[in-house]
Amino acid sequence: MRGDRQPVFQVPKVVSVLAVFLAVIHIGRILLPADWSYGAILLFGLVPGRYLPQFAWEIYDFPGGLLFAAAPFLTHALLHANFPHLLINGAFLLAFGSAVARQCGAARFLLLSVCCAVGGAVFHLFFAQGSGVPMIGASGAVSGLMAAAFRLGALA
């Protein structure tokens, strides 16, 4: 009879690895000294005010140069404010990411996740121009995966 039991969760490996990766990054960040943790948020989170036209020349002086000026468009999705933030994004990632990954495969799932994270950052940059508050979290990527799951009919 034991062989007839189905697993409670059928999460594709790529989705579970991504969820664990997000958790490891969060735990690592909160174990840092407070000023380093905040520094990581400022460096890797998306701060819209950095990208105002009057600061364009300063992007070249940004620590790490152009790479670190562009990186927050993706790296913001790897950071989370606290455990509830991580758990909510993780739950939605497991639910909708699993549906998309099963239909698209691991490589396309990761590409779509990256595109959704970058798209969410661009959307935020457009609507929060000049803000000095860092945007962090995988909500943009997860929202894109949710839309993809509905569009692909992956939840049926």
pLDDT digits over 75-134, tens only? 999 999 999 999 999 999 999 999 999 999 999 999 999 999 999 999 999 999 888 899
| Secondary structure letter of residue 31 according to DSSP | H
pTM, entire model: 0.86
**Mean per-residue pLDDT for 24-53?**
92
User: Is residue 57 scored above 70 in pLDDT?
Assistant: no
pLDDT digits over 18-31, tens only? 999 999 999 999 99
- C-alpha span between 10 and 70 (Å, rounded): 35
Residue 110: what residue type?
Answer: L
Measure the CA angle with vertex 49, ends 69 and 72; round to 5°.
Answer: 30
Query: Which CATH architecture is the domain 11-152 placed in?
Result: Up-down Bundle (1.20)
- C-alpha span between 137 and 135 (Å, rounded): 7
- Judged on CB neighbours under 10 Å (0-12, 13-18, 19+), 93 is buried
CB atoms within 10 A of CB 24: 11
Domain boundaries, the chain: 11-152
pLDDT for residue 10 = 85
